[in-house]
Amino acid sequence: MKLIFLGPPGAGKGTQAERVAETYGLAHISTGEMLRSEMRRETPLGLEAKAYMEAGELVPDELVIRMAGERLNAPDAKGFLLDGFPRTLAQAEALSGVTDVDAVINIDVPPERLAERLSGRRSCPGCGLTSHVSVLPSGKCPKCGGELVQRADDKHETVMERLEVYRKQTAPLVGYYADKNLLYTVNGDQDIDAVTRELTGVLRKFV
Ligand code: AP5
C-alpha cells in the first residue's frame, strides 16, 4: 500500500500512522520527525529548518522535496505511509513525479479541538511515545519511565500559526486529491481506537 495521511496539526496523523504502519508493515515516513531528527543532529538541513519550524512555518519546498524523495527511494519504502507530506501543491506535484499512491486519507477534526490537543501533547524523548496530559497527568512515560516533554512548536502562539499555515497552504490539497478520486475522509473527532477502526475499514479494499 502507498498511503498519504492528510489533516491539520493535531488531527491524529502520527498517532494513527504508527498503528497503521505496524499493522500493514509499511514504512512510516513523517517529514516532521525527519526534520526534528536533523535538528537534533545539527546537520545543515536541520540548522536551516530550525527557524521555520520554531515559528510554525513550513520548511521551503525544495528542501523537503529532496529529503522525502531520498527517503522514498530507500529499499524499505516499497509500501509507505506518508505523514505530513505533501503539504503544498508544489510538494504534491513533485510527489506525483516520483510515485503513484493508492489512497489519501483525510483525518477530519473540527478546528476548535486542535489547539487543546496540541497544547496538551507530551512525548517521551527516550522511547518516542506520544500522549496527552489528560491521559498521563504524572508526566512520566509508562513505557520507559522517562520524563515527558512538550514539543517546542506546541506553545500556544506557534500552534495558532501552524493552524493558519495549514488553512492557507495545505487544506487546498483536500480538493486536489478529491479531483483525482484518491481522497477518503475519516472522522478524527472520536476516540483513538474508533478512528483506527474507521481507518482500517477504509484500507480493507487496498489490502
Ligand atoms: P509535523 O511534525 O508533521 O506536525 P503537524 O502536521 O503539525 O502534525 P502534528 O504532529 O502536530 O499532529 P498529528 O496530526 O500527527 O497529531 P498527533 O497524532 O501527534 O510538522 C512539524 C513542522 O515540521 C511543521 O510545522 C513544519 O515546520 C515542518 N514540516 C513537516 N513536514 C513538512 C512539509 N512536508 N513541508 C514543509 N514543512 C514541513 O496527536 C496530537 C495530540 O492529540 C496528541 O496529544 C494525541 O495523543 C492526541 N490525539 C490524537 N488522536 C486523538 C483522538 N482521536 N482523540 C483525542 N486525542 C487525540
CB neighbour list of residue 57: distance below 8 Å, 6 or more residues apart: 161, 165
* pLDDT tens digits, one per residue of 160-177: 999 999 999 999 999 999
Best substitution site from 33, 36, 132 to test ligand 1's pocket, by max atoms within 8 Å of Cβ? 132
Q: Measured between alpha carbons, how far is 188 from 142 in angstroms, rounded to an integer?
A: 25
CA of 45 to the centre of ligand 1 (A): 20
Q: Measured between alpha carbons, how far is 204 from 116 in angstroms, rounded to an integer?
A: 32
CA of 196 to the centre of ligand 1 (A): 16
* pLDDT tens digits, one per residue of 54-110: 999 999 999 999 999 999 999 999 999 999 999 999 999 999 999 999 999 999 999
Query: Is pLDDT at 147 greater than 90 in this prediction?
Result: yes
